[in-house]
């Protein structure tokens, strides 16, 4: 009894481990549990136009570093003849194009792919060093107005954030008060806010970002204010005083540096276009979670060719589960223990109906020829080898025939394991001689039934998805198979088989 307990513990451990690993993988790598889940990504294109003067040209563009709310999936440039390099300086990345000589209108593209992620998940790396507020120079008349304005804002607030909000409200009001109007007449709103906040010893900078809207072209960056409070930068909208990063807002230029530096040209202009696209979430997860420990042991991190083979292998347990169920619980007879799974694998390549038709017709045709062979009195191995070759001929012929008739289904038959077919033919033919056509139908039909069921399970997109992206699911399958291996109850077919017992025994 102790060994039984041990057995159930193993089964339980397998099931729990399978579920837990799959769930952890789902959480860590964002792999969806169901297939077909789509995740949106943004394609943003910055287009730089300028006129070159026939001299060496250097174009230096600030590019997003680690924008909050987005994962940077991919970036590329399209700029014929230009060299491109990404310079990194204090964590700030700038793309630099250079060419020895260029003349006339030039166009450079910088494209970036972004995945929206929850804001909280955005890692901002190490904490920035607390910056100092920049010194500010005012005109004589402005000093008083600025001081009074700041006094009002300070009066109505309790901390730097609320002070910033109050100041924005004062300045962005539709009818600003006297002091605000005076200051605004000399400086535009956003630089003025930056100036005022720095003046009140709050380190402040102007950042530029992009509102992402599907299919928009010729967009410009929108300026925002960032105020350093505590240990991080807080973003404020300079018109609404809204605090925090708005949805679908991509921070492009963060580090008080110019957006675009150009030498060797003039009339520079930068415009943005953007597009929302959908990517299968599974594919996306495999791209974004490349450094997670789960990705290391994920099949999808392998080269595509190996993936295709492993995809098949990882599906086999599902087929085995069906086979075990059908044989132990239902009691279906199959010819050859695991032949149905191999047929089901072949069906995966051929799809069901063409596969079924070609399999049955090949076996039937082979049986016909085998009948003739039995008259030749050959030794068994030689006879099976002969059948193998005949099967190859049938397959080649049907492929050619199908091709001439204009459909490709003829080609699909060569996915069937030829040796398996040959053995099936041989066994069926012996079965026919020994036990009659009835038994051939029972066993052949049983094999095909199991094969079709296994195929249906294996090609079910959920099963294919789970077994490929969550190979640990197979632990659960093993546990189920082990449980069934322990089943001592009646098979479904035995309920029919023993029906005679009931007749006389009935009270």
For the bound state, the minimum distance from the C-beta of residue 332 to other proteins, rounded and expressed in Å, comes to: 12
- We find the least distance from the C-beta atom of residue 445 to other proteins, in angstroms, to be 16
Q: Which is nearer to other proteins, 220 or 486 (CB)?
A: 486
Name which of 406 and 505 has its Cβ closer to other proteins: 505
CB of 394 to other proteins, least distance (A): 23
**Spatial contact of 330 and 433, defined as CB atoms under 8 Å apart:** no
Contact set with other proteins (CB under 8 A): 328, 331, 374, 377, 379-381, 430, 434-435, 486-491, 494-505
Nearer to other proteins, 5 or 127 (CB): 5
Q: Output 48 or 339, the one with its CB closest to other proteins.
A: 339
Q: How far is the CB of 489 from other proteins (least distance, A)?
A: 6
State the nearest-atom distance from the C-beta of 506 to other proteins, in Å: 9
Strand, helix or coil for residue 289: coil
Q: Which is nearer to other proteins, 349 or 486 (CB)?
A: 486
Q: How many residues does the chain have?
A: 507
Q: Of the candidates 364, 363, 386, which has an alpha carbon nearest to the alpha carbon of residue 374? A: 386
Query: Shortest distance, CB of residue 421 to other proteins, whole angstroms?
Result: 16
How far apart CA 295 and CA 456 sit, in angstroms, is 29
d(CA 171, CA 237): 12
What minimum distance in Å lies between the beta carbon of 384 and other proteins? Answer: 9
> Is the CB of 123 or the CB of 337 nearer to other proteins?
337
Residue 396 Cβ, how far from other proteins at the closest point, in Å? 27
Greatest Cα pair distance, the chain, in angstroms, is 118
Output 443 or 467, the one with its CB closest to other proteins.
Answer: 443
Q: Which one, 404 or 496, has the nearer CB to other proteins?
A: 496
Tell me if 238 sits within 8 A of 172, measured CB to CB. yes
Helix (H) or strand (E) holding 451: helix 437-459
Which helix H or strand E contains 85, and what residues bound it? Answer: strand 83-89
What minimum distance in Å lies between the beta carbon of 484 and other proteins?
A: 9
CA atoms within 13 A on the CB side of 322: 27
Q: Which spans in 58-212 are helix H?
A: 140-155, 160-172, 178-186, 189-199
Say how far residue 197 (Cα) sits from the centre of its chain.
44
Contacts of 183 (CB under 8 A, 6+ apart): 142, 145, 146, 149, 171, 192, 196
Under a CB-based contact definition with an 8 Å cutoff, are residues 193 and 225 in contact?
yes
**Please, what is the minimum distance in Å from the beta carbon of residue 386 to other proteins?**
13
CA neighbor of 45 nearest in space, from 106, 122, 112, 142: 112
Half-sphere exposure in the Cβ direction for 182 (13 Å, CA): 14
Min separation Cβ 380 and other proteins, Å: 3
For other proteins, the closer CB: 7 or 211: 7
Q: Which is nearer to other proteins, 12 or 495 (CB)?
A: 495
Question: For residue 216, what are the contacts with CB-CB under 8 A and spacing of at least 6?
Answer: 273, 274
- In the complex with other proteins, which residue's Cβ is closer, 81 or 436? 436
Neighbouring CB atoms inside 10 A of 83's CB total 11
- The conformation of residue 415, written as its DSSP 8-state character, comes to G
Distance from C-alpha of 175 to C-alpha of 184, rounded to nearest angstrom: 12
Nearer to other proteins, 120 or 500 (CB): 500
Q: How far is the CB of 438 from other proteins (least distance, A)?
A: 10
What six digits make up the tokens of 482?
Answer: 């082990």
Residue 71: enclosing H or E segment and its boundaries? strand 70-78
Q: How far apart are alpha carbons 129 and 214 in whole angstroms?
A: 36
Strand-pair partners of 209: 222, 251
């Amino acid at each position: 009894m102790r060994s039984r307990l041990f057995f159930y513990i193993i089964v339980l451990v397998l099931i729990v481990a399978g579920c837990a690993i799959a769930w952890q993988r789902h959480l860590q790598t964002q792999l969806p549990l169901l297939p077909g889940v789509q995740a949106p990504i943004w394609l943003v294109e910055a287009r730089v136009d300028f006129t070159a003067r026939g001299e060496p040209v250097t174009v230096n563009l600030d590019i997003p570093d680690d924008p909050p709310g987005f994962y940077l999936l991919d970036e590329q440039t399209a700029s014929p003849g230009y060299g491109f390099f990404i310079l990194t300086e204090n964590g700030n990345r700038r793309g630099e194009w250079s060419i020895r000589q260029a003349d006339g209108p030039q166009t450079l593209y910088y494209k970036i792919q972004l995945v929206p992620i929850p804001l909280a998940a955005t890692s901002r790396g190490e904490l920035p060093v607390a910056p100092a507020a920049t010194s500010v120079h005012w005109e004589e008349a402005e000093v008083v107005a600025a001081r009074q304005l700041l006094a009002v804002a300070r009066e109505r607030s309790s901390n730097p954030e609320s002070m910033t909000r109050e100041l924005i409200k004062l300045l962005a009001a539709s009818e600003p008060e006297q002091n605000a109007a005076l200051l605004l007449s000399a400086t535009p709103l956003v630089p003025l806010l930056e100036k005022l906040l720095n003046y009140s010893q709050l380190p402040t900078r102007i950042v530029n970002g992009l509102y992402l809207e599907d299919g928009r072209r010729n967009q410009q960056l929108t300026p925002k204010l960032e105020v350093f409070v505590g240990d991080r930068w807080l973003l404020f909208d300079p018109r609404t005083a809204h605090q925090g990063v708005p949805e679908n807002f991509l921070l492009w230029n963060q580090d008080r540096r110019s957006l675009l530096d150009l030498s060797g040209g003039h009339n520079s202009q930068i415009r943005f276009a953007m597009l929302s696209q959908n990517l299968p979430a599974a594919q996306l997860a495999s791209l974004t979670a490349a450094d997670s420990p789960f990705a290391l042991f994920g099949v999808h991190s392998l080269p595509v060719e190996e993936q295709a083979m492993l995809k098949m292998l990882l599906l086999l347990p599902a087929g085995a589960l069906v086979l075990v169920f059908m044989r132990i619980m239902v009691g279906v007879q199959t010819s050859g223990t695991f032949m149905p799974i191999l047929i089901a694998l072949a069906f995966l390549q051929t799809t069901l109906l063409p596969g079924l038709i070609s399999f049955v017709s090949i076996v039937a045709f082979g049986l016909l020829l085998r009948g003739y062979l039995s008259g030749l009195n050959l030794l068994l191995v030689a006879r099976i080898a002969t059948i193998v070759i005949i099967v190859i001929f049938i397959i080649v012929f049907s492929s050619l025939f199908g091709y001439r008739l204009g459909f490709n289904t003829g080609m699909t038959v060569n996915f069937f394991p030829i040796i398996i077919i040959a053995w099936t033919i041989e066994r069926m033919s012996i079965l026919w001689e020994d036990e009659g056509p009835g038994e051939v139908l029972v066993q052949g039909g049983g094999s095909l039934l199991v094969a079709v069921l296994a195929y249906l399970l294996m090609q079910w997109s959920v099963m294919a998805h789970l077994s490929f992206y969550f190979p640990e699911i197979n632990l659960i399958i093993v546990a189920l198979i082990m449980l069934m291996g322990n089943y001592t109850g009646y098979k479904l077919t035995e309920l029919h088989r023993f029906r005679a017992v009931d007749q006389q025994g009935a009270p």
